[in-house]
């Protein structure tokens, strides 16, 4: 059975939760900047990142994990200040799907984020004030370019694997397509090559909730007067899309929060998700990152066969039957394109019942699949 179908660990109560990794640290490094696809020149970028495990003498066991929209560099282990587990603690650690006894694992906060990497809340070197909405537009490819800067800093020339779910899967795809000589294995999870109209629509609702909050102030809000209501509503809308009808019915049904309250349990849950999210996320980052998601197109108007013909990696593509935000049809289309260009690919659609969040929760079938695939590929001659 799949347990604790509550989604993002960072939004959960953590009383009694123990991580086999114990307390883990993230760090921040300032590195030479990049030229974004929009043409902006960053003189330097700050990158928050975490590493777990040890790099092998042959330097052939590095795995880059790319986070989704609400994630950050704190991949696994307990946060030293909050005590909260990393967002993929269920799946990263000794003996887990991504085994830190075997692999050297790297995760960094994306460009445009708000957890240590340069983003809208960072100081603009030319003004000394926060960027706010003067921050340049960023793309998934820009995020990958910053990750590549970090790997150069760490002295890692090639990755054994790159993986991630949702937005993280988009980053993994870019790595395999645009840096084919650096990636041996690519594991995109619950993702797509470009957003559909429905996926864009849900993100636009979230953006509008922020933009119409009186405290947004054209992006020039302060720490004490932020558009928290708008961001909370955006998170509530997004979180509904991460679940499934089964998981919501199974967990909440039509239960009331208590015998004396009129609020349904699901209402209380969504309010909690919204309120906890605003404590750790920047509203402007939400605007920038969701736009990067919507603008992403792996093939960018080119024939898929032409783009994928350069790929050297072997693929494991994973989807979830109950995921209605990134439905299996999108993964199957990616698999068809890979097969048409003779890229080695394994495709698994798991019959889990917990929607898009199936890659974040304690999900033994998913864990076993990823662990066995990575082990087999690592020992492949």
Distance, in Å, from the CA atom of 275 to the CA atom of 257, rounded to the nearest integer, reads 17
* Paired sense of beta strands 159-165 and 104-108, if any: unpaired
Phi/psi at 288 (nearest 5 deg)? -70, -45
The tens-digit pLDDT sequence of the chain (381 residues) is: 233 334 455 555 455 678 999 999 999 999 998 999 999 999 999 999 999 999 999 999 999 999 999 999 999 999 999 999 999 999 999 999 999 999 999 999 999 999 999 999 999 999 999 999 999 999 999 999 999 999 999 999 999 999 999 999 999 999 999 999 999 999 999 999 999 999 999 999 999 999 999 999 999 999 999 999 999 999 999 999 999 999 999 999 999 988 777 899 999 999 999 999 999 999 999 999 999 999 999 999 899 999 999 999 999 999 999 999 999 999 999 999 999 999 999 999 999 999 999 999 999 999 999 999 999 999 985
**Residue 251 burial by CB count (10 A; 0-12/13-18/19+): exposed, middle or buried?**
middle
Per the CB < 8 A criterion, the answer to whether 24 and 86 are in contact is yes
Per the CB < 8 A criterion, the answer to whether 345 and 377 are in contact is no
The CATH number that domain 9-195+297-378 falls under is 3.40.50.1820
Question: Within a 10 A sphere around the Cβ of 63, how many other Cβ atoms?
Answer: 25
List the beta strands (DSSP E) in the chain: 27-32, 44-52, 62-66, 92-93, 98-99, 104-108, 159-165, 183-189, 314-320, 345-350
SS3 content of the chain, % helix, strand, coil (to 5): 35, 20, 45
Distance, in Å, from the CA atom of 114 to the CA atom of 238, rounded to the nearest integer, reads 18
Q: Where are the domains of the chain?
A: 9-195+297-378
Per the CB < 8 A criterion, the answer to whether 86 and 74 are in contact is yes
pLDDT of res. 11: 56
pLDDT of res. 68: 98
End-to-end CA distance of the chain: 35
Q: What's the order of all strands across the beta sheet hosting 345-350? A: 27-32, 44-52, 104-108, 62-66, 159-165, 183-189, 314-320, 345-350
Which of 83, 66, 108, 65 has its CA nearest to residue 9?
Answer: 83
Question: Within a 10 A sphere around the Cβ of 11, how many other Cβ atoms?
Answer: 20
| Residues across the chain | 381
DSSP 224: T
The structure tokens listed for 266 are 């699901």
Residues carrying an active site annotation: 166, 323, 356
pLDDT of res. 9: 56
């Amino acid at each position: 059975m799949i347990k604790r179908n509550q989604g993002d660990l960072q939004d959960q109560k953590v009383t009694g939760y123990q991580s086999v990794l114990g307390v883990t640290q993230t760090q921040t490094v300032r590195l030479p900047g990049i030229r974004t696809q929009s043409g902006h020149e960053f003189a330097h970028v700050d990158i928050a990142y975490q590493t777990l495990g040890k790099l092998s003498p042959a330097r052939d066991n590095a795995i880059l994990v790319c986070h989704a929209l609400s994630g950050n560099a704190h991949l696994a282990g307990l946060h030293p200040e909050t005590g909260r587990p990393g967002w993929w603690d269920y799946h990263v650690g000794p003996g887990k799907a991504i085994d830190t006894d075997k692999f050297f694992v790297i995760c960094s906060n994306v460009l445009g984020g708000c957890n240590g990497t340069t983003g809208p809340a960072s100081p603009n070197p030319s003004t000394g004030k926060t960027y706010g909405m003067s921050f340049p537009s960023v793309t998934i490819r820009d995020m990958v370019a910053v990750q590549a800067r970090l790997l150069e800093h760490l002295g890692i020339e090639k990755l054994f694997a790159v993986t991630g779910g949702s937005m993280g899967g988009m980053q993994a795809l870019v790595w395999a397509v645009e840096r084919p000589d650096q990636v041996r294995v690519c594991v995109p999870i619950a993702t797509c090559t470009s957003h559909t109209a429905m996926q864009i629509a849900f993100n636009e609702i979230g953006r509008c909730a922020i933009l119409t909050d009186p405290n947004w102030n054209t992006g020039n809000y302060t720490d004490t007067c932020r558009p928290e209501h708008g961001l909370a509503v955006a998170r509530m809308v997004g979180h509904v899309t991460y679940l499934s009808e089964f998981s919501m019915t199974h967990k909440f049904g039509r239960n009331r929060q208590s015998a004396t309250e009129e609020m349904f349990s699901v209402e209380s849950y969504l309010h909690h998700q919204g309120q906890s999210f605003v404590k750790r996320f920047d509203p402007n980052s939400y605007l920038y990152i969701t736009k990067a998601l919507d603008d992403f197109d792996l093939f960018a108007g080119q024939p898929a066969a032409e783009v994928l013909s350069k790929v050297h990696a072997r693929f494991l593509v994973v989807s979830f039957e109950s995921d209605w935000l990134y439905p299996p049809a999108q993964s199957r289309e990616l698999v068809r394109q890979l097969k048409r260009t003779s890229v080695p690919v394994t495709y698994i659609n798991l019959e889990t019942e917990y929607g898009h969040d199936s890659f974040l929760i304690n999900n033994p079938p998913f864990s076993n699949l990823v662990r066995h695939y990575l082990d087999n590929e690592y020992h492949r001659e």
